[in-house]
Amino acid sequence: MKLAPLADSDDALFDTQVAVNLKGAFNTLREAARRLHRQRGRAGAHRDRPVPERQVGRADRAHVEDESARASRHAVRHRECDLLPPTAAWSDADPCVSIDCSRHSRSITMSKTILITGASSGFGRMTAEALAAAGHTVFASMRDTAGRNAPVVAEMVAHSKAQGVDLRTVEIDVQSQDSVDAGVASVIAEAGRIDVLIHNAGHMVFGPAEAFTPEQYAHLYDVNVLSTQRVNRAVLPHMRKRGNGLLLWVSSSSSAGGTPPYLAPYFAAKAAMDAIAVQYARELSRWGIETSIVVPGAFTGGTNHFAHAGTPADETRAAEYDAGPYAGFGDQVLKAFADIVPADADAGEVARAIVDIVGMPFGKRPFRVHIDPTQDGAAVGFAVLDRVRAEMLHRVGLSDLLRPKANA
């Protein structure tokens, strides 16, 4: 979408163009919802009789759909610079003018050395294995590699040998700066560089907001937010010295989409992490360091997010909620949101999206990619929010911060 440059004082025009951008994002989601509705209808209407290939339902679709199409079914992406009004100096060939939101590019220009945090399970482990399969050298970080996660380390070693890929593990406790520094130093010593840093480590809690203690809120902030700062402070000096790199953040659709109750501490922490990611993008672009933010929606299967969710420390407060007007509310919330997650929602789509982003050429990576089977509206919310933020930088003459500088 091309928008005319905005005059600093033309607020009415600015509001109109934000509305246009919102309409475009909404139309994308509406079409996705219509396709999903048609697929569900076909699956229900023809469940008990043969169907032609053009009417294949969800249960059979995998047999006639290639992996790349299936992987992109719930994906919506945009580059932040796509949200800016193009100037006369920009051409149609400029990577910030157009974007393909319907498919993933799988071109990999060269093998990269990648460090991913929180890789013992869930999105992290799936991503580590997928990136290694794509030909990259992957350091899957986790804590307690000689204890609780020793079986995971053994499984990854076996996987690496069996598949002939370069998947390694490294001890990193993201809540300890000493551990982070030692882990990053070992990766640099072993591989010589870190091309891509993936912030994936995180933890979820579930329960009434009031029943969590301030210390629990602080702990969630530490795990989900401060951890990224510790790792950045260890990795970024190396990237800045080399003049290139990619920071990839695993955010959450909760920061701009429809959200269920009883997840307040987690949602607050993920929103903070997303805000920090946006600011880092500005402050690293002139160093030649690129930023992409992956925004998963709700996946009730395929990860341990919900199974390992923490609970309120103040059990008395929690019991008061469960004995009052919110009796059984936790189960109600979980069931309600599980019911709107499509049966074929695949958490592996997040890993495949990350592989695609890493494989894209420098400067052409999307600023955000949404992998959201429930279509909770985050793609709409972030499209508008990122558009407004980008326009402000354009107004104050800092639009160069919206894409990374290509260093020699």
Q: How far is CA 71 from CA 6, 104, 297, in A?
A: 37, 8, 14
What backbone torsions phi and psi does residue 115 show, to the nearest 5 degrees?
A: -115, 125
- H or E element that contains 352: helix 348-359
Among 62, 64, 31, 58, smallest CA distance to 44 is for 58
Query: How many Å apart are CA 113 and CA 100, to the nearest integer?
Result: 27
Strands (E), 132-288: 137-142, 166-171, 196-199, 245-250
Q: Is 142 helix (H, G, I), strand (E, B) or coil?
A: strand
* Catalytic residue numbers, as ranges: 266
For the beta sheet containing 166-171, the strands, ordered from the edge strand earlier in sequence to the opposite edge, are 75-78, 368-371, 289-296, 245-250, 196-199, 113-116, 137-142, 166-171
- Contacts for 235 with CB less than 8 Å, ≥ 6 apart: 115, 184, 194, 197
